[in-house]
Structure 1
Amino acid sequence: MSDIVNMPELSSQGRRMSIPGFERWLGSAQGNYVLNWEQTTLDATVADVFGFNALQLGLPQFDFLRANRIPLRQKAGPAGAVDTFCEFDALPFASHSIDLAILPHVLEFHDDPHGILREIERMLIPEGQIIITGFNPLSLWGLNNRLNRSGEYPWNGSYLSIQRLKDWLKLLDFEVDRITLGCYAPPFSQHKWLQRSHFIETAGQRWWRFSGGVYLLRAIKRTHAMRLITPAWRKSRVGAKALRPVAHKEGHGH
């Protein structure tokens, strides 16, 4: 679900095009199933995030910021209908300038996901938020990722576990405040079987929450309070002589 894998075709302008199988997958039953869940979940997640600047990295075909009320919303990436063409691990935005960053399936289709997170940490303001979506390796979708050798999207990604992401984010002083999983049905290729598996969604949310095929993770950039260190001024010792009371001279004749 991303157009940033490292085996792209190049257009005449040298810009990266969609990865093989991407457009076809979007029109499939699996693509609709995942995208519908993600769009609905992202709409609910970004609705209460405020600020001045929001950024979506990747998947410019979709407006995952549509439910957000931040005035300046941009899309950035190496291909597609973006506002800013750039590499994900070298973002041309000032430090501490972004309030919200959304990464839909960016990390699992890039050679340096940790480098992307470092860039996001640099850009975000203190208390800024990052929202990540990805395929869950601890699911039937993750199992298909390990068994499938077609080399086509979405089975050609390096799926990242939630725990691994949490560890990376903790190192960058992020605090995870929300994790939502969905798409519990097996990755059937036919729409009717995905529809018939709808009951699995309810059961999965209740009994097997860890096994959703797709997850959404939101984290907040925390800035530890700085402690002001004052100079250790040397206090000069006052001599005993300086502490003697001054004797009043009595006038003559008194």
Structure 2
Amino acid sequence: MLAQDEQKVETSGFGSNMITREGISAAVTTKDAIEVLLKAPMLTDLNLWSHWDILFAPSLGSMVEWLLKEVNTKELLCLVTKGGKIIRLDHSATLDSFLKVFIQGSSFETAVALLSLYALFGGEQNVPLSLLKCHAQKAFEVLITNYLEMELHYDKNPYKHGKPSYDQHIVGKSASSNLSCKLRNNRSIINQAATVMSRFTLDCLSYLPIEFCSFAADVLIAGLQSHVNDVPSVILAECTQIERVMLHEVGMSLD
């Protein structure tokens, strides 16, 4: 018995003895699997991340069937893609949290919130699309205003002035009005802001499974169009070759 115990090795990062050196899986329970999967990062393919086929399938079977039949843990919100990936989502996502992470300028967290809301509301037909677009418009307004103000009032050297991050500095209406006056003759800064927001949009889309990019792009581009002229051309100019292929695959024509 002692010799057999010594042959067991720990699964990397999981802290449980689940597989022997000979490759024979030890019995695992639903509780073991849930404990592991709750450690997975958002938007991760749980099947690959957990090595499910090797460590868990011998005892628990297919992950999809197991999730449907055995798991009632609300924290383990998942979405299955057309390609069979099982993507972990944020069960606590709300419309307000979507706006918050968007204003903070995190393209990854914005992607997480968008896809999580898509799942929580039960798909594109049920998600409050108009409200999401409204939030996107508001968030882009804050991001653009903050970016423009920093470019106008702060030196390029961040060590000298300590540039504030987007979520630390939100200008008020009076400041925005003064800012607009100063920007009338400074098209270069406005163009830079448009480029930065286009990059944010592309980064956000790049985190998502391809079949959900069209939904996310609809929300993001609608929000950006209120502040940037000719959004398709600006995004196209910022695209890498791979990103152009991605946009083509989701049926977005930016030419």
Q: Which band: TM-score by shorter chain?
A: under 0.3
The structure whose RCO (Cα within 8 Å, separation 6+) is larger is: 1
Larger radius of gyration: 1
Higher helix share: 2
Higher strand share: 1
